[in-house]
């Protein structure tokens, strides 16, 4: 089941629906980098190009799991 979160990106309110497992990874990255989840989502949004935001979030989570070893 998807979990939806609302955030303000580039001055526009939007919502993102992801599986809870992806949210957990994004929350972990944000926490370890001393960012809010909204701050991380702003980074993802700014660098995603034409890719849909939810897809960009999933890819970011996969990159974090692959590359960020505690």
Grouping H, G, I as helix, E, B as strand and the rest as coil, residue 15 is strand
pLDDT score for 10:
86
Average pLDDT over residues 15-36: 96
Domain that holds residue 15: 3-67
**Is the model's pLDDT at 68 over the cut of 90?**
no
Grouping H, G, I as helix, E, B as strand and the rest as coil, residue 2 is coil
Cα–Cα–Cα angle for 63, 47, 18, rounded to 5 degrees:
55
pLDDT score for 17:
97
With residue 18 as reference, give the H or E element that holds it: strand 12-18
| pTM of the predicted model over 0.85 | yes
């Amino acid at each position: 089941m998807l979990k939806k979160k609302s955030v303000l990106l580039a001055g526009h309110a939007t919502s993102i629906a992801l599986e809870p497992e992806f949210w957990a990874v994004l929350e972990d990255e944000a926490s370890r980098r001393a960012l809010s989840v909204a701050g991380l989502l702003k980074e993802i949004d700014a660098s995603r190009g034409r890719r849909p935001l939810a897809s960009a979030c999933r890819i970011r989570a996969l990159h974090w799991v692959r590359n960020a070893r505690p």
